[in-house]
Amino acid sequence: MKYIGTFQVKPGSKVHLNKINPGFTAGHKNRALVKDKVEKYSRCLHDLQYHLYAEGKHSLLICLQGLDAAGKDGIINHVFGVMNPQGTRVCGFKVPTKEEAAHDFLWRIEKQIPAKGEVVIFNRSHYEDVLAARVHKIVPEEVWSKRYDFINCFEKRLLAGGTHILKFFLYISPQEQLKRFRQRLDDPSRHWKISEADYEERKFWSEYARAYEDVLSKTSTAHAPWYIIPSDHKWFRNLVVSKIVNEKLESLKMKLPSAQVDVGEIRRRYHEAQKKGKEGAIKR
């Protein structure tokens, strides 16, 4: 099953979230039955990220979007935690600072795009400026409505520079969100995640749904596609995201670069030094 095609929002299509089941599991029954697959994809992801870093020709930007408790932190921990921190960064975007708000909305995003050989994961992203900014009327419609085209052009430019983009909308139901809020209340180790704003935002569920439908419909392009990930089941969410990222990195046909030195000569010197070291030890 090619997950890239299954969950991708086809460019030009109109998304209706009420027709998508956030509890979908593609016939998989439970976590135990996909455990081996997830472990396999994790090993592959580790190796592919190593190739990306070593080759230094491409970079990967991963955007994670979703309502509160959809699993952005969980994905970062359980899927991308296998990546080497030397070539991976996570950037979170919250309410713009005074300095950021004084610039164009993409200004703070530009500073965080990945360098060649790097993977950067956005926990929330530039899409907040057509989501939260729209729902809470932070800017007028005549402003946010123009941002879709700006974003598409921005992402097209990134691809031209060698940055590939994967965008994941982690889709959960209102019932599942409330269940996860309850888990935070019951688990002292998660109390730090509790915010009154989380419950306040539930009042805007319908508004966010419409905003996301427009985002997914207007900014899923051939060069920067969106994937709608059914996320009521965390284990299935992790399975799908890890598989899609694997498929994307495999499509780059990466190769480890050739040695920049004479390996044979260095090996000869090593054996020579090792031999002298042993002879010195015998004499002592």
**116-151: pLDDT as tens digits:** 999 999 999 999 999 999 999 999 999 999 999 999
Report whether CATH 3.40.50.300 matches the domain 3-283. yes
Burial status of residue 280 (CB atoms within 10 A of its CB: 0-12, 13-18, 19 or more): exposed
Q: What is the reported pLDDT for 193? A: 84
Residues 238 and 75: beta-carbon distance below 8 Å: yes
Helix (H, G, I), strand (E, B) or coil at 62: strand
Give yes or no for a contact between 166 and 75, defined as CB atoms under 8 angstroms apart: no
H helix or E strand, kind and range, residue 156: helix 147-160
Residue 67: strand, helix, or coil: coil
Whether 279 shows a pLDDT value over 80: the answer reads: no
Nearest residue to 76 (alpha-carbon basis) of 114, 123, 113, 108: 123
What's the sign of the alpha-carbon dihedral 13, 154, 129, 180?
Answer: positive
What percentage of the chain carries pLDDT values higher than 90? 81
- Which element (helix H / strand E) includes 230? strand 226-230
Q: 261 burial class (0-12, 13-18, 19+ CB within 10 angstroms)?
A: exposed
Mean pLDDT of 14-38: 94
- Tell me the average pLDDT across 56-71: 97
| Residue 2 Cα to chain centre, angstroms | 18
Average pLDDT over residues 103-121: 98
Q: How confident is the model at residue 21 (pLDDT cuts 50, 70, 90)?
A: very high
Query: Per-residue pLDDT for 278 more than 90?
Result: no
Let me know: does 171 contact 181? Beta carbons within 8 Å: no
pLDDT at 138: 95
Can you give the pLDDT at residue 281? 54
Mean pLDDT, the chain, integer: 93
pTM (two decimals): 0.92
3-state helix, strand, coil in the chain (%, to 5): 55, 10, 30
pLDDT, position 265: 84
Q: Find the range with the poorest average confidence among 125-139, 165-179, 209-223, 258-272.
A: 258-272
Tokens (6 digits) for 67: 């309502």
